[in-house]
Structure formats: C-alpha cells, structure tokens
Amino acid sequence: MKFSLLDGPLGTQLAARGVPTPLPAWSADALLHAPREVLAVHRDYAAAGAQIHTANTFRTRAAQFGERWEELARLALRLAREGAGSGGRVAGSVAPLQDCYRPDSSPAEQRPGETRGEHARLARVLADEGCDLLLCESFPHVGEGWLAVEAAVSTGVETWCSFTPGWDASLLDASEVGAAARGAVERGAAAVLVNCLPIARGLEFVEALAGALAGSGVAYGCYANAGVPDERIGWAPSAVAVEEHTAAAASWLAAGATLVGGCCGTGPEHIAALRELIDRREETGRA
C-alpha cells in the first residue's frame, strides 16, 4: 500500500514565527511582506519528510488582493515548488470563498454559477503555473465543495477534495462527510480527505470515508488540528503533543487511510513524526 504525507499549515506556522497573518488575507498576506518566511516554512516541511506541499493560495483571491491576486497566486506556487525540492509534489489550494467555519455564508446555493466561476479562475491560474494537483480544501458547505471540485477537474489537473466538520466537529457529521465524499468522487475527485478538526474526532470521519468509498479505489485520509482558534485569528495551541497526534494518525492508517498530514496548530515536528510512522508501516505493514 502506498502512502502520501502532506505537509502542515502555513498560517499558524507563520504566526508562530512572528509573521502577521491579518484578515482578510490571513496567511496570504505574507506573500506581500514575508515571502522568504513562506519559503522557509515549505523547506522545513520538506526536511521533515512531507511529500505533498500545499501552496499558500488559500486566500489569493481578488476579494483580498484586487488586481494582484493572480500575481500572488503564481508567486505562492513558485515558493512551494522551490521549498518542496525535486522530490515533492505541489498542491494548489482552493478554499471556500467565505469563512471555512461558516457554511451559512457560502454563496453556493444562491449563486452556484458565480461560485463555480470564482473557483475556476483560481484553479486555472494554479494549473497554468504548473501545480501537480489541486486541493479543494476546508469546505464546510458540501455544495460549494462539489462546485470547487467541478471547477478544478475541468482544468485536467488531478483534483483532491477535503471537507471540514469544523474545529469542534459541529458543522458536518460523519455520515454527511461520507455522502460528501461520494459526491466529490462522482464529480471527478481522485482523493477525498477530512481536515481542520480535532484529532480525537478524526477516526470516526476516516471510518466514514472508508465506508463511503469502499470498493472505489479512491484514496482517502485526514489532516487534523492541534489547538483551537482564538478571537484574534490566531491559533491557541492546545496540549496536543506530537505523540498524541501521531497515535491518532496511526488509527487513521489502520482504518485504511493512505493520506495524512497536519492542519492548524501542527508544525514540522508533527510531520517528521508522521514520516517515521509511515516508514514503519511501509516496512512492517503495521503502524
């Protein structure tokens, strides 16, 4: 069985290094003011053993940057490519148009064509810049996630999709994520994940993905948080230790996941521990 290790977050890593990540651009603000720090984070994840490197395009939209959005999206891809090195694959991140913890703010139901078009614009720029795959990630609104997948698939680039039940797992339940996964695959997704949730809740969602995708041959996985959001759009680390995060990931692998990584609050140390976990499993067949 072949496993793939995703990297960890850019936003909370930049904040931990003293780089401002203000709204509305959040982590993408660093593309303007601290591109070398963005590159440094990518390099640290590469050194930790990550294979999939997600570019800092979570918020590179016209709504945040006006006419400069495309320039910055392309810069983010180049920084990820340089940081990943020759052995890494670069994923272009396609995120919800609004808040990833506010499915009620999604325009998908009222303006589906416009929503698909917005995702298509970013996906086409990322594809043109040479990303290896498109990662439609952190979608709490299933319908918008599907629209993003359709837009990404239309570029011809391999497309993955990840849904979020939220930092407290209150936005989607496991059965809803399973149904969302089936819909994403029907629309062309080559892999489905769950992300931005508490590590303690990861297994129930991975098991839902396993059931929903049984017999399809579609890869699935999880990248979870280590902490909780704070009111300053920062991240308050919790007591989640690297060992606890790794133990949770071992349970996801045991449930059939082949894609794992880190989300908000994790860092290169978490990814390095996951690298060791995957290497052991590949050597022995056991996590």
pLDDT tens sequence across 219-276: 999 999 986 665 444 455 555 578 999 999 999 999 999 999 999 989 999 999 999 9
SS3 state of residue 144 = helix
pLDDT for position 284: 80
Confidence band for 23, pLDDT divided at 50, 70 and 90 = confident
pLDDT for position 241: 75
pLDDT for position 236: 55
* Residue 26 in this model has a pLDDT that exceeds 90: no
Question: What range does the domain containing 234 cover?
Answer: 4-284
SS3 state of residue 50 = coil
State pTM to two decimals: 0.95
pLDDT for position 283: 81
The rounded percent of the chain whose pLDDT value lies above 90 is: 84
* Residue 76 in this model has a pLDDT that exceeds 90: yes
CA distance 280 to 105: 43
Residue 226's domain is classified under what CATH number? 3.20.20.330
Across residues 193-218, what is the average pLDDT? 96
Number of domains in the chain: 1
Cβ proximity of 155 and 134 under 8 Å = yes
